[in-house]
Structure 1
Amino acid sequence: MPDTVKARYGIAEWYGREFTSLDAPQRKIYAEHALGETEAKPPACPFQPDQPPCSKKGGVCSMQRYEEGPNGRLGDSVGEPVIMCPRRFEADGLIYEWLAQAADFPIHETEVAKEVPFMRSTETNKPAGKIDMIVAHQDGDRLRWHGLEIQAVYFSGQGMESEFKTLRDDLEEPPPFPSANRRPDWRSSSAKRLMPQLQIKAPTVRRWGAKLAVAVDRPFFDAIGGPSTPPSHDVNEGDIIWLVTRLNRSHTGTWQLARDHWEVFTLEDSNTRLQAAETISRENFETALRSRLRPL
């Protein structure tokens, strides 16, 4: 892409629909839902088994970069979408079946449980933390299971309200170019959100003889180092089973969740990757410090 072409992140999927497939009247309806300007129920989430109304504020499932087209309109897409909503990972039960296969559970006998209490408050004795999903196999009195944490990506930059208002009021085609700069915040999504979850849950799950799996998308995984060479597929040699998905274009033009890569890491190696940062040299630190020093 030439340097002269402006590109920004915009909506890739909205309330379960591919954004560029929506016409202006449909975008207006969705924008009114996103802004809370209608009493109608939000559109159904097509990625969950019972397709309940979307529960994500704003309804944005994924985002991707777009070039700016003529007259400030939306141009060509750049790269692949980044998943913003954890429910997006539930499409077609793909990650549950994938984890069951990695764990060598019989698929037709595998069961799933959501948000299982994992910690309790010492003050109220009520649940104080949950594991997102449990994938399990029962064989008589024997119960085998693995936990699954799902991590979508946060974005930094201006909030989406201005974008929703623009889409509500704009009735032209194609859609308008994104109104503000936004970008995936890998740091908040990894070191600040996911890593503490793994540090809290993985040691206990490991002590109980189970594993903790993590579902992320490929842009997230690439941001923390990408696949190992060669990757380990031995679940007995690590603590965290990484299930890496991506959104591929289907023959109908929609985005479809697909398996991309999986491997097993120790908790320590996972933490190292999730930090996604290293200490700079003292010289560089003090150079930056001098530029910021001001009289008391």
Structure 2
Amino acid sequence: MTTIPQVTLNDGNAIPQLGFGVYKIPEDQTPEAVLAALEAGYRHIDTAAFYGNERGVGEGIRRSGLDRGDVFVTSKVWWTENGYDSTLRSFDASLERLGFDTIDLFLIHWPAPRSDKYVETWRALERVHEEGRARSIGVANFHTHHLERLARETATVPVVNQVELHPWLPQAGVRRYDAAHGIATEAWSPLARGRILQDPTLERVASKHGVTPAQVVIRWELQLGVIVIPKSTTPERIRQNIDVFGFELDGDDLDAIAALETGERTGKDPDDLG
């Protein structure tokens, strides 16, 4: 069984550096996908209210026979529920759907700055953390100016900032800010929704190491110190995506991957939502 490195968060809790994402996995397929991931050795599952599959995540974990404490689970409040009271309701609903007493990590899914509710949303997350119902709290899709506002107006530093991150969009500025402030950076869409995997540079590096382009990208992100949550519903790919600890990218590899940066996003710019 692969031993996945743990990242210690700024609140003292630890998160597995490699996790399993369930975005766009239908509810009825989620238990089997989660079960396959847990059987492959993952111990970190990332879901969200918006994904519509929290019940399936909870079911998959229970079916695995693993102790609840052995699986790190993240969920998120969707931006249309931003606001103090609505966030508390969303958190309660996520707990109910998962069938848990606590959530390991709860995130603001998007700042949605046009609606200007992310600060009060963060205060709601501070409350559920103080109550012990969320062991850790963080954010997703926050630019540095969103993080700076939280720092000015609230008392708690997020443990995680989950952002779109892949070779086209390595988020160097966000990673520097996060590191300087004790915030772990986490990558969603780490494979650019699969679109980057046909890149000749990645194919060349993969051939050099006898691995797949997806394994190269996941390994690159791990070597950056980023938490990574690839997603697949194919058992073979689920297993491949965790089998990334038997090789290491060298300086030439890292330089070649760095040259792929274009700034292209597969999702929205956080300033354009809400």
With normalisation by structure 1, the TM-score equals 0.26
TM-score calculated relative to the size of structure 2: 0.28
Greater fraction strand? 1
Higher RCO (Cα < 8 Å, 6 or more apart): 2
- Structure with greater helix share of residues: 2
Which protein is bigger by CA-based radius of gyration? Answer: 1
